Chains A and B, each alone.
Chain A
Amino acid sequence: MEFQPDFRHIVQAASNKKSERLPLYEHQINNEFIEKVIDEPIIFDEKDASTMRHAYRQLCAFWKEMTYDTISFEAGICPMLPDHGAISGGRPGPIQNREDFARYPFDEIPEIFWDHWTPHLEALKAELPPGMKAIGGCGYGVFEISEDLVGYEKLCLLMFDDPDLFAELYAKIGDLMMNLWKTLLQKYGDLFAVCRMGDDLGFKSSTLLAPETIVKYIVPQYRRIIDLVHSYGKKFLFHSCGKVFPIMEAAIDAGIDAKHSNEDIIAPFEEWIEKYGDRIALFGGIDMNLLCMEDPKTIHEYVLEKGKQFRDMASGFAIGSGNSIPDYIPVEGYLAMVDAVNELRKN
């Protein structure tokens, strides 16, 4: 029988309730990966509505075929920033000092953003299958945007060399994000079952800035966006990689409803559930390394065992990789995970 998506399952999970059907969730599935699975190219052309609709028809069909209730979609902010790219390393960002900050064309970004993303959102709106909604929103988080504008190492130095500019930068990024999120919710809010921000704040052993710095400068900007999302009656999912335990209380206090991203080398998923499962939903659970390195049989058995355990332990839970599905994940391993989730659903 054909799978019928029902976004209400993931809304239930994000509300920290046990959903009637265990939802599958991914932060992102890389387009090249999807092309490998469907054996067709996916072409995006912002100037050609029919090509764009075809691309989103393919994407929606893939997510439905893989038995997701939602399609992950983000209108990415960083790629729309003039002269961006420092987030990937190897080059300085366009803002290195106060003069650069004063000159930077923040006011032009919304127009650039909507020129690019409106055709995508219109195509998504036209092609969403019955019962399916998107999960996402404006892509990239407060810290990631600052990394892209300044560069991580320079940003660290800026904090000491010009603390006023450091503070103003985060307020400005918050203003920009609020502008974009407001329009997104006004025009396309109905497309989204759950809203989401991804902001990688940590690495293997710590956070990328001191927790008190994150709480002082970054979390207040989260709070503004979370309040806005909540005012539209939607739940807010926070995705953040790395060892971010020291800022989790502040993130929960700011109003996040759910958290995604986990790496077993930092902490087993059970630890996330034990620490926070009584207050927020937890999405993910299946470590990326497992999906990369293990054979399909091992993955299938692991997902069956751990998926049941996580669902029993957590209130709100959606299962999927601890991060995302990039193009280097073996297709067979990914399909073994999806297959195991469907077996779990039957039981």
Chain B
Amino acid sequence: MEKLQQLAESVINGKAPDAERLTQELLDEGLTPSEVLNQGLIIGMDEVGRRFRNNEFYVPEVLIAARAMKSGMKILRPLLAETGVKPMARIAIGTVKGDLHDIGKNLVGMMLEGAGFEVVDLGVDVSSDKFIQAVKENNAEAIGMSALLTTTMVNMDSTMKEIEKQGIRNQVKVIIGGAPVTQNYADEIGADGYASDAASAVALLKEVLNLPA
């Protein structure tokens, strides 16, 4: 449908007013909220992620795309809740204890939301307890930990150990990323995966949760 394509284009081009208008028009024409989300907004953010991975888009382009996506979601969110449509999965993200850097974590959050995940943003300087609380109380099916510094990266390891200690390791998948983080480090601490950038985090999360790509 041409208008769904236009909606996707409005997200790719970061045109928030267009995204909002087209979302409403598509609903008025009889499409379900799920159809508008999956065949319009998410298709647009998928393309944004692809371009970001390929260095065709940079952070500013991702930010305006996420803003356009949000303007459509503002209309869709209550309708999705009313009709009982569940998000793809719930993930709690945060920058680990001792680290106040949030740009990378915010980008990951935007890309995941754009892909249809529900994101619980725990903020910066997040302790092991807070991550565990998000699993126990918010039923987060996955955790995403970010760190900019080599010294704070080690708190990913302590959070992994605490998750094991609390006996909830089999309830939650853990993905990690950030400047000093590597796949080797993810393997070393027993995380389920490592993503080198925000767009790759979407594919990784789908993979570890066994969701369709």
Residues in chain A within 8 A of chain B (CB atoms): 88-90, 152-153, 156-157, 159-160, 203-210, 213, 246, 263, 265, 288-289, 292-293, 328
> Does B116 reach chain A (CB closer than 8 Å)?
no
Contact (Cβ within 8 A) B100 A206: no
Residues of A within 8 A of B103 (CB): 89, 152-153, 203
**CB neighbours of A265 from chain B (8 A):** 179-180, 182
Query: Quick check: is B14 within 8 A (CB to CB) of the other chain?
Result: yes
One of B2-10, B55-63, B159-167 at the interface: B55-63
Pair A293/B150 contact, Cβ less than 8 Å: yes
User: A157, B64: Cβ atoms under 8 Å?
Assistant: yes
Q: Does B101 contact A (CB under 8 A)?
A: yes
Question: CB within 8 A of A289: which of B61, B100, B180?
Answer: B180
Would you give the 0/1 interface string for B47-73, flagging 1 where the beta carbon is closer than 8 Å to chain A? 000000001001111011001000000
22 contacts between A and B (CB under 8 A): A89-B102, A89-B103, A90-B102, A152-B103, A153-B106, A156-B60, A157-B63, A157-B64, A203-B103, A203-B179, A204-B179, A204-B196, A204-B197, A205-B196, A205-B197, A206-B55, A207-B58, A210-B60, A265-B182, A289-B180, A292-B150, A328-B150
Residue of B with least CB distance to A263? B179
Q: How many Å lie between the Cα of A205 and that of B179 in the bound state?
A: 9
**B100→A209 contact, CB < 8 A:** no
A89 touching B63, Cβ below 8 Å: no
Interface SS of chain B: loop
User: Chain B residues near A210 (CB, 8 Å)?
Assistant: 58, 60-61
| B197 closest partner in A (C-beta) | A205
Q: Contact: A160 with B64, CB < 8 Å?
A: yes
Residues of chain A within 8 A (CB-CB) of B59 are 156, 206, 208-209
The 10 tightest CB contacts between A and B, nearest first, are A156-B60, A210-B58, A328-B151, A292-B150, A156-B63, A205-B197, A89-B102, A204-B179, A289-B150, A160-B64
Instruction: Assess A157 versus B60: contact at CB under 8 Å? Given A90-B124, A293-B150.
Output: yes
Note all chain A residues with C-beta closer than 8 A to B104.
203
Report whether B100 and A88 are in contact in the complex, using a CB–CB cutoff of 8 Å.
yes
| Interface flags, B109-149, vs A, CB<8A=1, else 0 | 00000000000000010000000000000000000000001
With CB as the reference atom, state the residue of chain B lying closest to A90.
B100
For residue A160, which residues in chain B have a CB less than 8 angstroms away from its CB?
14, 60, 64
Q: How far is the CB of A95 from chain B (nearest CB, A)?
A: 17
Report chain A residues within 8 Å CB of B196.
Answer: 204-205
Say how far A326's CB is from chain B's closest CB, in angstroms.
8
Contact residues in A for B180 (Cβ distance below 8 Å): 265, 289
Query: What CA separation (Å) do A86 and B168 show in the bound complex?
Result: 37
Tally B residues with Cβ within 8 Å of A.
Answer: 24
- Separation of A90 and B99 alpha carbons in the complex (Å): 12
Least Cβ–Cβ distance between A210 and chain B, in angstroms: 4
The residues of B that contact A208 with a CB separation of less than 8 Å are 58-59
Also in contact, A89 and B60, with CB within 8 A (given A157-B67, A265-B180, A293-B150): no
Give Cα distance in the complex from A152 to B63, angstroms. Answer: 11
Q: Mark B189-210, 1 if CB is under 8 A from A, else 0.
A: 0000000110000000000000
Residue of B nearest to A211 (CB): B58
A208 CA to B59 CA, complexed, in Å: 6
- Residue of A89, A206, A207 near B101 (CB, 8 A) is A89
CA distance A265 to B106 in the complex (A): 22
Q: Choose among A89, A204, A207, A288 the residue that contacts B150 (Cβ–Cβ < 8 A).
A: A288
Shortest distance between the CB of A146 and any CB in chain B (Å):
13
Kindly state the separation between the CA atoms of A35 and B72 in the bound complex, as whole angstroms.
54
Q: In the docked arrangement, what's the CA distance between A152 and B105, Å? A: 14
A88 to B179, CA, bound (A): 16
Residue of chain A at shortest CB distance from B200:
A205
Q: Which residue of A lies closest to B124 (CB)?
A: A90
Q: How far is the CB of A111 from chain B (nearest CB, A)?
A: 31
Q: Which of B55, B101, B182 has the most CB of A within 10 A?
A: B55
Known: A203-B104, A210-B58. 8 other contacts (CB 8 A): A156-B64, A157-B60, A204-B197, A205-B196, A206-B59, A207-B58, A263-B179, A328-B151
Bound Cα distance A160, B104 (Å): 21
Query: In whole angstroms, what is the CA distance A312 to B31 when docked?
Result: 67
| A98 CB, min distance to chain B CBs, angstroms | 19
Query: Which of A159, A204, A246, A293 is the one whose CB lies under 8 Å from B60?
Result: A159
Query: Could you say which residues of chain A place their CB within 8 Å of the CB of B149?
Result: 328
Contact status B197-A89, CB under 8 Å? no
Docked pose: A213 CA to B58 CA in angstroms: 10
Whole-angstrom distance between the alpha carbons of A292 and B153 in the complex? 11
Give the docked Cα–Cα distance between A159 and B67 (Å).
Answer: 14
Contact check, A209 vs B179: say whether CB atoms are below 8 A apart: no
Contact A89 B55 (CB under 8 A): no
- Which A residues touch B101, using CB under 8 A? 89
- Distance (whole angstroms) from the CB of A161 to the closest CB of chain B: 9
**A103 vs B196: C-alpha distance when bound (angstroms):** 41
**Complex Cα spacing A343 to B180, Å:** 29
